[in-house]
A and B are shown apart, each in its own frame.
Chain A
Amino acid sequence: MEVAAAKLIGAGLAAIALAGAGVGIGTIFGNYLSAAIRNPSAAQKQFPNLLLGFALAEATGLFGLVVALIILFAF
């Protein structure tokens, strides 16, 4: 197979990692929302944890994006 074509396919496959980040962020915000509706008084205290979880989940997906960019530009 042509190397250039294989690179593009590989980069596209690496970007699938972002699906996991989407699931993770959705889970975090969904669970936070349902917990906050059940117990609104405790919601404000857990907001920093929400942001932390959001950033951590997003970062794992972005690792996949970094792999895609390395395949595209560094090889």
Chain B
Amino acid sequence: MANPMQQFEVKTIGPKLEVGNFDISFTNASLFMVIVVGAISLLFVLSTQKKSLVPSRMQLLSEMAYEFVAKMISETAGDKARPYFPFILTLFLFVLFSNMIGMLPYSFTVTSHIIVTFALAIFVFIGVTIIGFIKHGIGYLKLFVPSGVPVVLMPIIVVIEIISYLSRPVSLSVRLFANMMAGHTMLKVFGGFVISLGLVGGWLPLGFSVALTGLEILVAFLQAYVFAILTCIYLNDALNLHH
């Protein structure tokens, strides 16, 4: 049985390029990132070519994506978050398309690599922190001091709040990465069962594989949604300081 981790291997495509100590050659991961960005651009460019009041199916698809994210932002972060709509739409679509394209057989899931998700999460984290300090100045630090807490507990609460704030990029990235990697490993393991049990007993894991593929498509959408909505929640903390 093939190693279920083999699917996550990053291979170089074409010549090997190196700048200093860094390997910057084109890999299958970069190829699939290009495919993801290309697919998103193609969908939106093609579907908005012929704009009509009664939308065609393609136009409806992109309008649905737009409205979905717009509603999500206005519900969780309010009207002040309107200027950040393009960023969150891009983030949502990139994660969604990476997850969905990764579900195709023989393709590569970009988001199953911690470095990709961590890069996205750290950008969100740094951006939100900068926005918070620009909007509230030094008063943004009040985020770490919740109101209505007894003075005795204050030192502990502040430390906990700071730790939970700093762990946001880690939890945001590990959640997406772990979900995608675990799901794809599980699919491969069940696929291996089908082969090793053969014609006699292979039907049961085959059925499981089909069901798991359905579940994985749900998870692929859900994780993109969660990534985007958590970004909105963090943005809400920075824009509308509650405490």
Q: Quick check: B5 and A55 within 8 Å, CB to CB?
A: no
Of the residues A51, A54, A62, A73, contact of B175 by C-beta under 8 Å: A62
Cross-chain contact B222 with A54 (CB below 8 angstroms): yes
* Size band of the interface chain B makes with A: 10 to 19
Please pick, from A52, A62, A65, A66, the residue contacting B226 in the complex, using a CB distance under 8 A: A52
Chain A 52-69 residues near chain B, CB threshold 8 A: 52, 54-56, 58-59, 62-63, 65-66, 69
Given A58-B179, A73-B5, A63–B226 Cβ distance below 8 Å? no
With both beta carbons as reference points, the residue of chain A lying nearest to B180 in the complex is identified as A62
Summarize A's interface: helix, strand, loop or mixed: helix
- Closest residue to A51 on the B side, CB-wise? B222
Q: Would you call B211 an interface residue if the criterion is a C-beta within 8 Å of the partner chain's C-beta atoms?
A: no
Within 8 A of A (CB), among B49-95: 72
Chain B residues at the A interface, C-beta cutoff of 8 Å: 5, 72, 171, 174-175, 177-179, 181-182, 219, 222-223, 225-226, 229
Cα A38 to Cα B178 in complex, Å, equals 35
**Across-interface contacts of B178 in A (CB, < 8 A):** 59, 62-63, 65-66
Q: Which residues of B contact A51 (CB under 8 A)?
A: 222, 225-226
A62 and B222 contact, CB distance less than 8 A = no
